[in-house]
Structure 1
Amino acid sequence: MSVRKVSYKKTSVPIGYETVLKDIKFTDLKDRKEKRKSNISKNEYFRNLINRAINNQVKFDYTVADNWFSSKENMNYIHAKLNKLFILGIKSNRTG
């Protein structure tokens, strides 16, 4: 599940969430067990929630997310395309 919220001063209010629908069944070749996955990536869900906030005219200056959403594609999207700032966690094994 991915959640978006907006914070003003000391108040935070959820403004959107998306439950991940795992609609594709597949068999894992390693253990031969049936598993499920989503046809939409977690990063696409993340960007869709940001777009929904913008379409609903939610005013915000930056996006905060944990390292689960720290992809180069998300960073470029937020900064270059939306002209917004971001604070994203980064795994400790990343170097500049």
Structure 2
Amino acid sequence: MSKKQSDKKVITVRLTEEEKQKLEYCSNLCGLSQSEFIRQLCKGKAPKPQPKKEFWEVLEALYAVHNSFKSCAKFEPSALEICKEIECLILDLQEVG
């Protein structure tokens, strides 16, 4: 048994069926095991739900639009301003996603 595993302690928690379902739902939504979900809560972190497939599709489309404008910049320098706006939008989306 590794040192890291031997440092972990096992606890037993009793939950109602409703609480158990809520734990399963929330941990699945975040893409975490139930144990990791609880560990993060104990550390004061609020696990975030994983973004849906559509989020990644929109982000990918924004990258494509950005790259298209960037390739146009050599012909039309004002396209760089649009690139900056798209970059800000991408950063904002990444923060909330």
For the aligned pair, the TM-score class normalised by the smaller chain equals: under 0.3
Structure 2 length-normalised TM: 0.23
TM superposition score normalised by structure 1? 0.23
Whichever of the two has the greater Rg, that structure is 2
Greater share of helix residues, 1 or 2? 2
Identify, as 1 or 2, the structure richer in strand.
1
